[in-house]
Amino acid sequence: MSSKDHSRRGTLPRFGTGLESPLLSLPAVLVIIGGVFLPMAILAVYSLWPTVDQQIVVDWTLANYLRFFKVEVYWHMLLYSLFFAGLAAGITVCLTFPFAYFVATKVKPERRLVWVALAVMQFFTSYLIRVFAWMNLLGDTGLLNDALMRLGLTTGPLWILGSNKAGIIITFVYLLAPLTFLTTYIALERSNPALLEAAEDLGAKPFQRLIHVVLPVARTGILGGFVLSMITVLGDYVTPQLIGGTEGYLYSNIIQLQFGASVQWGMGSALALLLMVVVFALLGVLRRITGGAPQLGTYTRTFSATPAKGLRVYSLAVLGFLYFPIVLLVIMAFNERSSIGFPFTGFTFRWFGAVFNDPLLLVSLSNSLIVAAIAVGVSVVLGSVAAVQLARTRGPLRQASLAILSIPVFLPPMLLGLAIIIGLNAVGIDRGLWTIALGHTVLSLPIVTLLVLIRLEGLDPNLEQAAMDLGASPARAFLLVSVPQALPGIVAAALITLALSFDEFILTSLVTASDSTLPLYIFGALRFGVTPAIVAVSVMLLAASSTLLIVGVLISNIGQRKESRSAARAFALHN
202: amino acid identity, one letter: L
**pLDDT at residue 379, rounded to an integer:** 93
Work out the widest C-alpha separation in the chain, in whole angstroms.
82
Mean pLDDT of 446-471: 77
In this predicted structure, the answer to whether residue 483 has a pLDDT above a threshold of 80 is no
Give 148's Cβ-side CA count (13 Å radius).
18
- Lowest-confidence pick of 62-66, 242-246, 505-509: 242-246
| pLDDT class of 569 with cuts at 50, 70, 90 | very low
Task: Give the helix ranges, DSSP H, for 392-432.
Answer: 396-410, 413-427
Higher pLDDT pick, 355 / 274: 274
**pLDDT at residue 301, rounded to an integer:** 53
- Lowest-confidence pick of 59-63, 467-471, 502-506: 467-471
Contact yes or no for 232/79 (Cβ under 8 A): no
In this predicted structure, the answer to whether residue 2 has a pLDDT above a threshold of 90 is no
Give 180's Cβ-side CA count (13 Å radius).
28
In this predicted structure, the answer to whether residue 7 has a pLDDT above a threshold of 50 is no
Mean pLDDT of 405-424: 86
Residue-averaged pLDDT of the chain = 80
Task: Output the CA torsion 133→135→139→144 (10° steps).
Answer: 0
Mean pLDDT of 452-481: 73
Task: Output the CA torsion 508→510→513→515 (10° steps).
Answer: 20
**pLDDT at residue 86, rounded to an integer:** 92
What one-character-per-residue DSSP string does 120-169 give? HGGGGS-HHHHHHHHHHH-STTSHHHHHHHHTTS-SS--GGGSSSHHHHH
Higher pLDDT pick, 98 / 480: 98
In this predicted structure, the answer to whether residue 89 has a pLDDT above a threshold of 50 is yes
| pLDDT class of 206 with cuts at 50, 70, 90 | low
In this predicted structure, the answer to whether residue 10 has a pLDDT above a threshold of 50 is no
**pLDDT at residue 15, rounded to an integer:** 42
Mean pLDDT of 428-449: 88
Strand partners, 56: 51
pLDDT digit string, tens, across residues 344-388: 778 888 888 887 888 888 888 889 999 999 999 999 999 988 888
Spatial distance between the Cα atoms of 517 and 363, rounded to a whole number of angstroms = 8
Spatial distance between the Cα atoms of 240 and 252, rounded to a whole number of angstroms = 10
Helices 38-46 and 265-290: crossing angle, nearest 10°?
120
Higher pLDDT pick, 575 / 282: 282
Helices 251-258 and 265-290: crossing angle, nearest 10°?
150
In this predicted structure, the answer to whether residue 56 has a pLDDT above a threshold of 60 is yes
**pLDDT at residue 58, rounded to an integer:** 84
**pLDDT at residue 117, rounded to an integer:** 82
In this predicted structure, the answer to whether residue 191 has a pLDDT above a threshold of 80 is no
Mean pLDDT of 424-431: 81
Higher pLDDT pick, 20 / 7: 20
pLDDT digit string, tens, across residues 126-171: 778 888 888 888 888 888 888 899 888 888 899 998 888 999 999 9
477: amino acid identity, one letter: A
What percent of the chain shows pLDDT beyond 90?
Answer: 17
Higher pLDDT pick, 384 / 55: 384
| pLDDT class of 6 with cuts at 50, 70, 90 | very low
For 527-551, b/e burial (b = at least 16 CB within 10 A) is: eeebebbbbbbbbebbebbbebbee
Spatial distance between the Cα atoms of 178 and 106, rounded to a whole number of angstroms = 19
**pLDDT at residue 297, rounded to an integer:** 43
Those residues whose C-beta lies under 8 Å from the C-beta of residue 234, and which sit 6 or more positions away, are: 81, 82, 85, 250, 251, 252, 275, 278, 279, 412
Dihedral pair phi/psi, residue 204, rounded to 5°:
-70, 135
Spatial distance between the Cα atoms of 554 and 204, rounded to a whole number of angstroms = 42
Mean pLDDT of 394-403: 87
How many helices (H) and strands (E) are present in the chain, helices listed first? 28, 2
**pLDDT at residue 459, rounded to an integer:** 66
Contact yes or no for 334/349 (Cβ under 8 A): yes
Mean pLDDT of 4-24: 54
In this predicted structure, the answer to whether residue 302 has a pLDDT above a threshold of 60 is no
For 477-486, b/e burial (b = at least 16 CB within 10 A) is: bbeebbeebb
pTM beyond 0.85: the answer is: no
| Helix, strand or coil, per DSSP, at residue 486 | helix
Spatial distance between the Cα atoms of 231 and 88, rounded to a whole number of angstroms = 11
Mean pLDDT of 303-323: 83
What percent of the chain shows pLDDT beyond 70?
Answer: 82
